[in-house]
Structures are given as C-alpha cells and as structure tokens.
C-alpha cells in the first residue's frame, strides 16, 4: 500500500528525524550531480515536508515550497524530490515508480489546496521533455487534469539567472499565471 505523509517541519519528531536521515544519505551520495540540492539549509524554509511509503517503507521524499517571486497563492510541490537510495534501482517496474510519484503529487496537491489555501500548485525542473509524460501519469493515476504552458518560462527563484527560468506544469487557477514573471 502506497501512502504519503505530509507535515510541517519541526512538528513531528519521528517524521522529522526520518526525513533528515534520508536527506543526509541523499546529500552524501556524490554519485549524482544534484547532491548539493539536498543540503539541510535547502529545506529550512519549506512550507511542508513529505515522505511517501510503500508498505511502510520510505521510497521517496519531497517538500512543498512558497517563494515571494511567485504569485500569491502559488505553491511548488514535488520540491527537491528524491528517491530513497534503495529505490533507485533500474529494475523496479516503471508503473510502480510512477504510482509512488503520483501519490506524492496527489497528496501534496490536495494538502496545499486544503491546508495552505493554494490557488495553484505547480511542478518545475530545469530540464525539459518531462512535462507531458508526467501530466499523462498524473491523469492516469489520480484523475487530475494538469496543464502545461509550452510558450513561457516562469521565474522559479528570487535570484535571476538562466537556471531560474523554467517550464511548469500546474493545477489550479490559470489566472495567476498572468501576474508571474515569465519570458
């Protein structure tokens, strides 16, 4: 059974401890180029943390984030997503992998809307060519219809450099996109 736990950092000692243990393992794994994304300070200002479990075993982690450069009511979900080291094996069934990811997305989307009064939730990455696959997987596994704006890159960080302009997929009030810095 797949389930995702979401909580405010510092409010649950058991989940906080597990999250930080898993984060530290990921940060210390220098075999992947993005290990620096997983420093403790990168999770200091997250609105919420999450761990997805499969049969009570942690399989992936991420957070919900809010930044001042996004429209009021917009939250990034699947922020700093990573798979637990033991779950990165290539032989794991792709459908099982996507069920875990989409459970995390669905749980964070519903949590942000209900508990954080989010008007729009989005997912972004620096790379391209993942958006349509993820939108189809979300629809298949959760029933939610997410959207992609193919024509714009959105400001995702306060510091403006080339890496801060990213494509997003989103769910919620499309009108918020008009007040977002884009190019």
The per-residue pLDDT for 43 is 82
Task: Render pLDDT for 57-101 as a digit per residue (tens, 0 to 9).
Answer: 999 999 999 999 999 999 999 999 988 877 766 555 577 788 999
Model confidence, pTM? 0.92
Least confident stretch, 27-36, 76-85, 100-109: 27-36
Q: What is the pLDDT of residues 131-143, one digit of tens each?
A: 999 999 999 999 9
Position 12 scores a pLDDT of 98
Looking at the 3D structure of the chain, how many domains does it have? 1
Helices and strands, number each (H, E), in the chain: 3, 9
Whether residue 123 has pLDDT greater than 70: yes
Q: What is the pLDDT of residue 29?
A: 79
Predicted local confidence at residue 83, as pLDDT: 86
Q: Which of 45, 105, 38 is nearest to 77 (CA)?
A: 105
Q: State the chain's mean pLDDT as an integer.
A: 91
More reliable by pLDDT, 127 or 112 = 112
**Domain, as residue range, for 95:** 2-179
Contact 82, 128 (CB under 8 A): no
CA distance 7 to 51: 9
Q: According to the model, what pLDDT value does residue 155 have?
A: 95
Q: Which residues pair with 145 in a beta bridge?
A: none
- Give me the residue label for tokens 């984060």: 23
CA gap 52, 141 in Å, rounded: 15
- The per-residue pLDDT for 89 is 60
Where residue 133 sits, what CATH number does that domain have?
Answer: 3.40.630.30
């Amino acid at each position: 059974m797949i389930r995702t736990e979401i909580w405010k950092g510092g409010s649950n000692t058991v989940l906080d401890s597990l999250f930080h243990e898993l984060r530290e393992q990921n940060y210390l794994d220098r075999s992947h180029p993005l290990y620096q994304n997983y420093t403790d300070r990168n999770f200091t200002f997250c609105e919420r943390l999450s761990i997805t479990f499969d049969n009570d075993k942690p399989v992936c982690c991420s957070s919900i984030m809010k930044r001042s450069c996004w429209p009021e009511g917009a939250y990034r979900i699947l922020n700093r997503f990573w798979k637990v080291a033991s779950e990165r094996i290539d032989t794991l069934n792709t459908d099982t992998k996507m069920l875990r990811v989409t459970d995390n997305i669905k749980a964070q989307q519903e949590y942000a809307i209900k508990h954080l009064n989010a008007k729009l939730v989005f997912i972004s990455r620096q790379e391209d060519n993942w958006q349509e696959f993820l939108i189809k997987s979300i629809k298949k596994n959760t029933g939610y219809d997410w959207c992609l704006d193919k024509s714009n890159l959105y400001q995702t960080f306060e510091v403006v450099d080339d890496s801060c302009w990213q494509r997003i997929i989103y769910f919620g009030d499309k009108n918020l996109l008009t007040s977002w810095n884009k190019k």
